[in-house]
Structure 1
């Protein structure tokens, strides 16, 4: 079996808004004001970067639409099966979540779709809430 090549890490390249998340929603559920929103150049599903007013990144939402093996591998890279807590929320999506001193990650996939949310907040429930909202707003 050949080694999967994952897409490169997305970079913030364009001014927002995020097509999946309202800035006010992110501010409310991540618990910090949003100073700026940027997106990556991937179309039609860019990664969204939400920054605090001081310029530090507070939340990132990466969306992948493509091959199931790649979607699963992206989720496992963000929230490794061996170390993260398993999740199946929202219904039909699978993945994991974990927290550390730098924040939390919530990563899930369904078929060839993956959503990975990283936050500077240590409570994984914040990342899960944002992931669930992004998934509800995806046009896939």
Structure 2
């Protein structure tokens, strides 16, 4: 169990390290009830689901390709989805084949949802957020991209973008949550 967390943690840490080079112009909206280092120890005992993989070339069932292109500021060349149920992770690629945006949705246990958000936007380093209303998590941005990750109950939505502005990831997160009605 710890081995899978170490592997996931290392992958997330590498992404976050690349994304945390700059400061976002966004200001935290409110202080939230996010896990502390004491509760992070309990969270580390959880087995997180494996990182999703792009498997099927098909449209994202909860996000329109044009919306993503406009929100992220890049044309979308192709879209792939994972095989996760009930909501696959959506991978949006630029016309040159490089990944530009990923939207991961988790529905299940509350502790796992919070742990996924903390893995993507660690409490110790990310800016806290409570947008959209009722959702809590964090965001980080830098020259290599941004992440916006929030949870509510047993649901989590994590958006990563190759754009340095976390506001783009937040817009996509809000649209995904609205369309999923979770």
- Please give the TM-score of this superposition, normalised by the length of structure 2: 0.75
Rounded Cα–Cα distance in structure 2 between residues aligned with 1:114 and 1:44: 13
Q: Which runs of 4+ in 1 moved over 6 A?
A: none
Q: Which has the larger radius of gyration?
A: 2
**1:82–1:36 Cα change, 3 Å:** same
| C-alpha distance in 2 between matches for 1:77 and 1:101 | 20
Task: Give distance in 2, aligned partners of 1:102 and 1:123.
Answer: 10
1:8 match: secondary structure? coil
Identify, as 1 or 2, the structure richer in strand: 1
Q: 1:2 to 1:94 in 2, by over 3 A?
A: closer
Displacement of 1:126: 0.2
Q: Following the alignment from structure 1 to structure 2, what is the Cα–Cα distance between the partners of residues 2 and 73?
A: 8
Gaps of 5+ in 1: none
1:25: Cα distance to partner?
A: 0.1
Distance in 2, matches of 1:8 and 1:104, equals 21
Q: Secondary structure at the match of 1:136?
A: helix
1:107 aligns with 2:149: yes
> Structure with the greater relative contact order (CA < 8 A, sep ≥ 6): 1 or 2?
2
For structure 2, the residue ranges without an aligned partner over 5 or more in a row are 1-42
Q: Which has the higher helix share?
A: 2
Q: Distance in 1 between matches of 2:159 and 2:129?
A: 14
Please say if residues 142 and 165 of structure 2, whose CA atoms lie closer than 8 Å, have aligned partners that are also in contact.
Answer: no
Count of equivalent residues: 140
CA drift at 1:53: 0.1
Return the offset for 1:101.
2.2
Corresponding residue SS for 2:52? coil
Distance 2:176 2:127 in 1: 20
Taking a change above 3 Å as real, the CA distance of residues 44 and 85 of structure 1, as seen in their structure-2 partners, is same
1:24 corresponds to 2:62? no
SS of 1:25's equivalent in the other structure is helix
SS in structure 1 of the partner of residue 178 of structure 2: helix
Say whether residues 1:38 and 2:80 are aligned partners. yes
How well do the aligned residues superpose, as a CA RMSD in angstroms?
A: 1.1
For 2:81 and 2:157, locate their aligned partners in 1 and report how far apart those are by CA, in whole Å: 15
